[in-house]
Structure 1
């Protein structure tokens, strides 16, 4: 089933928070969801109620097992989580070397998860280019670049469009790279101008905007989703993320159609 990769050429864009809450939003559509953390910061787990001192993860032992399903944690939310976990420098380097040098390593490791009927798998990546991003690019059905509504993100658009971030030569998917613009604040003139420019430049490849909302940070502090924290869905971010999930649901249906041919992995 679909593998969705979220990446960004720069850090601090809220990619991990978006990954987690998009997982919750996809679950609200009635889909089984798994999330995988490829970032050494190991922060994705905090959105799913894992204790700060919980060392579990897949990276330290990833090279010893062909199927990573055994590392999946069934969280109380119903979403399956593969946290990065605690790994020393040697384990991290060995993991990244396998990702970079063995084109079948990730495909074999995720085969079990991706074969589960209707399962949607979301992958959170470290900022910037990385062995994980390159390996996921070869497998992902949907690739999402997360940007901020600011001048620095605007300047990164040509880099992404040239294929210097998600390489088109190695990509499995025939779908173009899609985008999410995060932390939109229409009260700030520069932010508003950047948002309007990005909407115009990205056109149909823009999945949606997520407005700046303190409710997201408060939900993280309580280790719950934005939808649990704000059960009325009154927050701007809850509404935005729900709409993006619906867009992703439509893309998934497109991929599942028999007439849609994917490149071989």
Structure 2
């Protein structure tokens, strides 16, 4: 697993730093990370290797935003998310890496599409979203499924939080606690599927410094970077990666 070339090491270290960045205010970075990790690892292995790294980032995020969470919005969503997670578990149990790659590619492109729609229509997009229990159930199941299959539920969760009309800080903080919870739930399931091993956890431990550095960079430097330009670049690269997974 660790017999990497120089390019592979550059990719995985960049991905680790990008996870830190994503947890400090640039969630779209995770979409790029999901696609880039599959340039180094097979699809199934990449999903399992990525999860503990995301958990490290989640711990940083909930520490930083520990008081900025609206629990009632999480509690109403969690039962539906768990249904989606377990559906994803059985799908992962049944398919191999070759079958998983195009599925993750479609999820990545769908998340990018959601972001583009939000950016293009702004408040009109938010106003047209339903606010019923059925909508919450749909979002929860889709979010649970996509995060279980490919660690890529950021766009779906963003829609849910937008519907709730949360201020920016509560938006980020509530999302951080959501992903910490769901990633903890996923951990034993990934273990059971053999996607997380002792060897992969050793690799994850090597990546912790890069994740922390990325998070610190995000907190200090990210506000100084033109966010629209940066996000556009990230999404274009992620789209290229997602399309590559389809073929």
Q: TM-score, length-normalised on structure 1? A: 0.28
Relative to its length, the structure with more helix (as a share) is 2
User: Greater relative contact order: 1 or 2 (C-alpha under 8 angstroms, separation 6 or more)?
Assistant: 2
Q: Which of structures 1 and 2 has the bigger CA Rg?
A: 1
Q: TM-score, length-normalised on structure 2? A: 0.29
Relative to its length, the structure with more strand (as a share) is 1
